[in-house]
Structure 1
């Protein structure tokens, strides 16, 4: 079981770089940034771009993997994104993972002046976005004309440091997204069942996640791929447990162990932010980072 963290891009770099260095010092497998233009209760405060933040983080860390959790088509285009990802993969020395999903109806969905896309269109766009991005990251020159995205002799030389390309972690719970994860993903990401967040129980959440893992297995089987070939990532903080797993080392080990039994290979916890939904005792957080992986080995 790997333990990773999400560091929200809310800090000016003079302060933010200290957090990214500390995350590596604590031994986290990876540190991710949300790829949004703004997000929920943080909308009216500082919020920096994910790709520049990860680029800066790549220069102050050496071992820890870096990534987005997650990027979406809401304000990204495959051609320009591919160029940025190849550059970041090079700067990080091949430590980049792209978390990618369909996005939602939050602030990103309207920031460019468009109306929010309905769920079907978000799924349609992701189904076109991911295969095109796969080509852009593995081929020297790509031309493509689709329903939503186009590319004309888009050059991406020399390509990724990681071969054949940097890994995709596809966030999905529906059948179309799971098929994308099965075909193109090196990992799969979930936050659980959002319908259970307010009134569900931890036991119901575990059952829902078990069902998601089973559906992922079926999608992999349909593509002729073993589900064991994909890492399975749980982004915490959005299940009925909320922040309780971070209340103590024992509470976290119990939480992570129950999800490890479902087949999850990586648990992601939010770096503590005082006076927010992600508030946590920093000393407990550090102890979890330092001691939990060995207990879950």
Structure 2
């Protein structure tokens, strides 16, 4: 399988002031998927414009024809499986089956307290994700679901006619710990990593590659434990959070070298951030577009 190139378009632009144009340009450039973050606000963008992920993806679905669309990632921090399933089925229908759900445990950012709750511990986040994903799986594949859980319940929740994609839209599970990797192995059609966050500030690119190789090995072990071939699971690397930071987007050659090293680890998809001036995701737009148009052929 050739290495796919995808992008993340943050939902910070008004739709009629650059938002629509970015998604349409992503399709023109040939990106496989355009994702967006599913947060209520995020890091340095907190005090500026920030729009909802699912309405943005719905608008993007209407404005494009071929581009796959998705969240990277949705979490239980402010979502419930019952309402999320209904919205995803609707979005999958509007897009004619072009939706991928990136899903993970979430973190301790602004989403974690926006509803008035105390931030959950890592164990609590893992506990919730372990209940959230299987229930969401059922809600997207069964016409009627009743389930009583510790954190999430459903009572005769109807989801007819279900997804356009069968048996449901794909899950891309973001995980590095054993419980999350087990969920990816059992329920995922893809696995997502950003690398090892402990290496971001002081690590080297070589150390990062080794850490990601170890993560991929643990994913293979999780798949083996349930009798699944890890080769059947797509592996997605969300860039921008490894020690390389933005260097892979400095030139076509730099990106091809970066992507090639990770393709050797078994990755099937590399995701780059759409350039945002004066931010951590600043990049030369001409170089970015050249990478989008030319890198996939060189990596094929």
Structure 1 position 278 matched with structure 2 position 281: yes
Give the structure 2 partner of residue 8 of structure 1: 10
How far apart, in 2, do the equivalents of 1:214 and 1:293 lie?
25
Deviations along 1:192-242, one digit per CA (max 9) or x if unpaired, are 000000000000000000000000000000011000110000000000000
Structure 1 position 147 matched with structure 2 position 141: no
How far apart, in 2, do the equivalents of 1:286 and 1:120 lie?
41
Give the structure 2 partner of residue 260 of structure 1: 263
Deviations along 1:126-171, one digit per CA (max 9) or x if unpaired, are 0000000000000000000000001000000000000000000000
| Structure 1 stretches lacking a partner, 5+ long | none
Of 170, 194, 211, 1:191 maps to: 194
How far apart, in 2, do the equivalents of 1:62 and 1:229 lie?
27
Task: Tell me how far 1:25 sits from its aligned partner.
Answer: 0.0
Deviations along 1:29-48, one digit per CA (max 9) or x if unpaired, are 00000000000000000000
How far apart, in 2, do the equivalents of 1:129 and 1:118 lie?
16
Of 161, 164, 171, 2:174 maps to: 171
- After superposing on structure 2, the runs of 4+ consecutive aligned residues of structure 1 that deviate more than 2 Å are none
Give the structure 2 partner of residue 58 of structure 1: 61
How far apart, in 2, do the equivalents of 1:260 and 1:166 lie?
25
How far apart, in 1, do the equivalents of 2:205 and 2:162 lie?
43
How far apart, in 2, do the equivalents of 1:170 and 1:50 lie?
17
How many residues are matched? 297
How far apart, in 1, do the equivalents of 2:67 and 2:15 lie?
18
Task: Tell me how far 1:254 sits from its aligned partner.
Answer: 0.1
Q: With structure 2 as the length reference, what TM-score do the two structures score?
A: 0.99
How far apart, in 2, do the equivalents of 1:214 and 1:70 lie?
22
How far apart, in 2, do the equivalents of 1:242 and 1:267 lie?
14
User: Within 5 A, what are the aligned runs for 1:14-53?
Assistant: 14=16, 15-53=18-56
| Structure 2 stretches lacking a partner, 5+ long | none
How far apart, in 1, do the equivalents of 2:260 and 2:104 lie?
26
> In structure 2, the residue corresponding to 1:212 is in which secondary structure?
helix
User: Within 5 A, what are the aligned runs for 1:48-87?
Assistant: 48-87=51-90
User: Within 5 A, what are the aligned runs for 1:94-173?
Assistant: 94-173=97-176
> In structure 1, the residue corresponding to 2:76 is in which secondary structure?
coil
How far apart, in 1, do the equivalents of 2:63 and 2:228 lie?
37
